């Protein structure tokens, strides 16, 4: 679906003229745009195939039922492509320059989420240790292909895995964002944090959410960690 058709669809669903639109993400099979009406701003997400938007609605329902700061969908449907209309959430992505209170609020939010038993499906319906082993094998193949891996990287990783496997087998039973990049944690005007793009919510290890933050915004982690502690 092209952008202009998608914007017209939003206008029909909202029963309001669209005064402007902005593309947020565009791929051959997925599209997201911000639309502006006299009644406010909204996000329209569309996908040609797959279950991403179905998972997003389920995740939002799950989170809202437990009091987490995530917006309820305005409408959803299908018109060739599956679509989901959401309110626009005003805020800035979490960074190391965000107010310290907001960084700690993000940590507290993650701690509260990780305290929820992992009722969501795990990655690819696997145990956490099995999923991590598959991920490590994929990463090792890529690493070796770059020619930058140290000598005996495979052997060293295998020995490390044998040490870590029992620990990982005991984990993976928390609810996690899984794709909790800082840009999905929006700092609102009151230094609180709202969640967006939660379709990957699932069972897993809460440390992964912290690792994702550390990978994408290393300067943010020192401010987030104190919020995760009681």
CA angle 61, 128, 149 (to 5 degrees): 120
125 band by pLDDT with thresholds 50, 70 and 90: confident
Model pLDDT for residues 174-195, shown as the tens digit of each residue:
999 999 999 999 999 889 999 9
Q: Is 92-228 in CATH node 3.40.1190.20?
A: no
Model pLDDT for residues 10-65, shown as the tens digit of each residue:
999 999 999 999 999 999 999 999 999 998 999 999 999 888 999 999 999 999 99
DSSP 184: G
Paired sense of beta strands 75-79 and 40-47, if any: unpaired
**26, β-bridge pairs:** 31
Sequence ranges of the chain with CATH classification 3.30.200.20: 3-87
Sequence ranges of the chain with CATH classification 3.90.1200.10: 92-228
Give the CA count within 13 Å in the CB-facing half-sphere of 59.
24
Residues contacting 44, CB < 8 A, separation 6+: 6, 7, 9, 10, 32, 33, 35, 83, 84, 85, 86
Q: What pLDDT is attached to residue 79?
A: 78
Q: What pLDDT is attached to residue 224?
A: 97
Model pLDDT for residues 151-168, shown as the tens digit of each residue:
899 999 999 999 999 999
Choose which CATH entry (3.30.200.20, 3.40.1080.10, 3.40.50.2300, 3.50.50.60) describes domain 3-87. Answer: 3.30.200.20
Q: What pLDDT is attached to residue 139?
A: 93
pLDDT of 141 > 80? The answer is yes
Instruction: Please say whether the beta carbons of 35 and 41 come within 8 A.
Output: yes
d(C-alpha 2, C-alpha 20), whole Å: 15
d(C-alpha 204, C-alpha 92), whole Å: 27
Instruction: Please say whether the beta carbons of 24 and 34 come within 8 A.
Output: yes
């Amino acid at each position: 679906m092209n952008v202009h058709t998608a914007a017209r669809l939003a206008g029909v669903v909202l029963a309001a003229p669209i005064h402007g639109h902005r593309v947020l993400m565009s791929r051959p099979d997925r599209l997201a745009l911000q639309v502006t009406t006299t009644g406010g701003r909204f996000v329209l997400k569309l996908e040609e195939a797959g279950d991403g938007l179905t998972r997003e609605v389920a995740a939002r329902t799950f989170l809202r039922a437990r009091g987490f700061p995530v917006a309820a969908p305005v409408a959803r449907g299908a018109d060739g492509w599956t679509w989901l209309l959401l309110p626009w959430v005003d805020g800035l992505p979490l960074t190391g320059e965000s107010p310290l209170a907001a960084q700690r609020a993000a940590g507290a939010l993650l701690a509260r989420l990780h305290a929820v038993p992992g009722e969501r499906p795990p990655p690819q319906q696997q145990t956490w240790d099995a999923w991590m082993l598959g991920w490590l094998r994929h990463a090792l193949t890529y690493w070796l292909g770059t020619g930058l891996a140290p000598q005996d990287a495979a052997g060293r990783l295998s020995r490390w895995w044998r040490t870590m496997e029992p620990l990982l087998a005991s984990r993976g039973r928390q609810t996690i964002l899984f794709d909790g990049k800082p840009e999905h944690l929006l700092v609102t005007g009151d230094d609180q944090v709202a969640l967006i793009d939660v379709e990957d919510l699932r069972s897993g290890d809460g440390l992964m959410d912290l690792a994702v933050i550390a990978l994408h915004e290393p300067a943010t982690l020192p401010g987030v960690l104190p919020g995760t502690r009681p």
